[in-house]
Amino acid sequence: MSALMLFRKGVDSVKLWAGRFSKEIDKKTNDFNSSISFDSRMYREDIEGSMAHAEMIGECGIIEKSESQAIIEGLKGILADIDNGDLQIDMNAEDIHTFIEGELTQRLGQTGKRLHTARSRNDQVAVDIRLYLKKEVQNIKKQVKELIGVICNKAEEYAGAVMPGYTHLQRAQPITFGHHLMAYVEMLLRDVDRLECAYRHMDEMPLGSGALATTTYPIDRTITAKLLNFDRVSQNSLDGVSDRDFCMELASVLSIIMVHLSRFSEEIIMWCSWEFKFVELDDAFSTGSSIMPQKKNPDIAELVRGKSGRVFGDLMTLLTVMKGIALAYNKDMQEDKEAIFDAVDTVKMCLTAFTPMIDTMKVLTDNMRKAAANGFINATDCADYLVKKGLPFRDAYKATGTLVAICIEKKTTLEELPIEEYKKICDIFDEGVYEAISLENCVNGRKVIGGPASENVKAQVKRVKSIINI
């Protein structure tokens, strides 16, 4: 009797579980249950994983070498046909794993059915997502590094461009535009590091975990790990199939990246306003208004700021899906993919638009310089000048505060206030004060590590460029 005849008569099902069931799945339930609309993007990884598994079970003598070879060739053919459009993925299939295996069996007959020996879709899907995300982490890392390079170039160009630094969004102390930009580079460097860490955690090969408890076949998991270029093999089969920490971790890292992009966007939006006018975005990265002809809107920056919400939502989805499910695999976990794929897609899309927007942005240094001159942002330096001449800081602070009040009353600035007025408040003052409070001197005097002096900014740019090889 052929193996086929062992199946119950009357159920001509393509479902993997045909045999146990006497009815086809309800059509609407099939749509609800199916993940093919969002997991079909992993077809390449699914095929790569299957090829490695086929090779390993062949090597270990679990199936004939000739069959293993035929399966690998069959899978290669399927991959080529999907790539070149000759094979359409059937959206009625339950998931990508079912579709590929079904297609292989159609092409190879009995031999195709041997592929799933010593494997479950639970370890199969676990390996597919890891393979897929490992590639995406590298893509995103490359994009973040590109952004770092673009910011570094701008920072180098504007290492000496004086602007006000803010606290509470009030003008506080003078810095340079280069220094301000390099703050974002530090954040993004940490993001690169976090991406690398997330990569390390997902670089673990779960195949061989089976459905939950491995298998009695004499498989060699190190062979598949090596073939698939994983750093190591997972050490507990329950964890192997039910761990999605790497998705949550990646979504956390991506959320932090979005926080950084969103803060940067917020500043760009402010800087574009007429109230600031520190920068002007290139026409190619701005939009107009349908009704107000004068408008030039920073839509890209606003969208990046807005899209951060999606990514945080994806992280929340993953945390919530995972928090209450008993070991090992549960179907809830199918919900991981849309969330993590959306987070990955969103971050990639944001970076694709954001980086050239920064690259082409025009910096209006005169406006920055003017804003820096009008907010008494050299008041701390005025007080420090008195301290360097021997006055205790608290007295110097009070004297300078009085001078600021006089300037406000006389509608002038510390730079323009005559020396006689200074002397009236404190007789230690002399003409040297004007040099001490010149904005350029205030900035360039701050040479300590991490300071805004233009030589510091240039050194920081050089250091970063050498770290990330640009």
> CB of 39: closest distance to ligand ARG in angstroms?
6
- From the list 120-128, 157-165, 406-414, 460-468, the region that binds ligand ARG by CB under 6 A is 120-128
22, 66, 273, 289: the catalytic one is: 289
Alpha-carbon distances, residue 284 vs 63, 296, 298, 300 (angstroms): 59, 11, 11, 10
Q: Which two tokens mark 399?
A: 């004297």
SS3 167: strand
SS3 172: strand
Tally of CB atoms within 10 A around 171: 18
Question: By rule CB under 6 A, what string of x and - marks binding of each residue 49-88 to ligand ARG?
Answer: ----------------------------------------
Work out which of 105, 122, 255, 265 binds ligand ARG, going by CB under 6 A: 122
> CB of 259: closest distance to ligand ARG in angstroms?
29
Q: Is 236 exposed, middle or buried (0-12, 13-18, 19+ CB in 10 A)?
A: middle
Tally of CB atoms within 10 A around 360: 14
Cβ neighbours of residue 251 closer than 8 Å, sequence gap 6 or more: 311, 314, 315, 318, 339, 340, 343
- From the list 45-53, 81-89, 119-127, 384-392, the region that binds ligand ARG by CB under 6 A is 119-127
Task: Verify whether residue 66 is a known catalytic residue.
Answer: no
Work out which of 114, 121, 145, 221 binds ligand ARG, going by CB under 6 A: 121
Q: How far is the C-alpha of 116 from the C-alpha of 183, rounded, in Å?
A: 52
> CB of 343: closest distance to ligand ARG in angstroms?
17
> CB of 91: closest distance to ligand ARG in angstroms?
14
Distance of CA 290 to the CA centre of its chain: 33
When the beta carbons of 236 and 334 are compared against ligand ARG, the nearer one is 334
Q: How far is the C-alpha of 305 from the C-alpha of 290, rounded, in Å?
A: 22
- Number of residues in contact with ligand ARG under rule CB under 6 A: 10
When the beta carbons of 330 and 438 are compared against ligand ARG, the nearer one is 330
Q: Which of residues 438-467 bind ligand ARG (CB under 6 A)?
A: none
Q: What are phi and psi of 2, to 5 degrees?
A: -75, 155
Does the protein bind ligand ARG through residue 95 (CB under 6 A)? yes
Question: By rule CB under 6 A, what string of x and - marks binding of each residue 12-41 to ligand ARG?
Answer: -----------------------x---x--
Q: Is 362 exposed, middle or buried (0-12, 13-18, 19+ CB in 10 A)?
A: exposed
> CB of 334: closest distance to ligand ARG in angstroms?
4
| H/E run at residue 107 | helix 96-108
When the beta carbons of 122 and 173 are compared against ligand ARG, the nearer one is 122
Distance of CA 340 to the CA centre of its chain: 11
Work out which of 334, 380, 438, 441 binds ligand ARG, going by CB under 6 A: 334
- From the list 118-126, 267-275, 368-376, 386-394, the region that binds ligand ARG by CB under 6 A is 118-126
When the beta carbons of 93 and 439 are compared against ligand ARG, the nearer one is 93
Does the protein bind ligand ARG through residue 116 (CB under 6 A)? no
Cβ neighbours of residue 261 closer than 8 Å, sequence gap 6 or more: 304, 305, 308, 350, 351, 354
When the beta carbons of 150 and 328 are compared against ligand ARG, the nearer one is 328
Task: Verify whether residue 168 is a known catalytic residue.
Answer: yes
| Beta strand pairing call for 204-205 and 232-233 | parallel
When the beta carbons of 96 and 464 are compared against ligand ARG, the nearer one is 96
Q: How far is the C-alpha of 304 from the C-alpha of 258, rounded, in Å?
A: 8
168, 209, 286, 454: the catalytic one is: 168
Does the protein bind ligand ARG through residue 333 (CB under 6 A)? yes
Q: How far is the C-alpha of 184 from the C-alpha of 261, rounded, in Å?
A: 9
> CB of 125: closest distance to ligand ARG in angstroms?
4
Does the protein bind ligand ARG through residue 43 (CB under 6 A)? no
Does the protein bind ligand ARG through residue 209 (CB under 6 A)? no
Using left for φ > 0, alpha for ψ between -120 and 50, and beta otherwise, residue 422 falls in alpha
Does the protein bind ligand ARG through residue 125 (CB under 6 A)? yes
Does the protein bind ligand ARG through residue 161 (CB under 6 A)? no
Rounded to the nearest 5 degrees, what angle is found at the Cα of 203, between the Cα atoms of 309 and 464?
Answer: 65
When the beta carbons of 95 and 384 are compared against ligand ARG, the nearer one is 95
SS3 8: coil
**Residue among 140, 204, 69, 82 at smallest CA distance from 346:** 140
DSSP state of 204: E
Q: How far is the C-alpha of 224 from the C-alpha of 205, rounded, in Å?
A: 8
> CB of 237: closest distance to ligand ARG in angstroms?
14
Q: Which of residues 312-331 bind ligand ARG (CB under 6 A)?
A: 329, 331
According to DSSP, the residues that pair with 170 across neighbouring strands are: 167
> CB of 122: closest distance to ligand ARG in angstroms?
5
Positions touching ligand ARG (CB under 6 A) are 35, 39, 95, 121-122, 125, 329, 331, 333-334
- The catalytic site residues sit at 168, 289
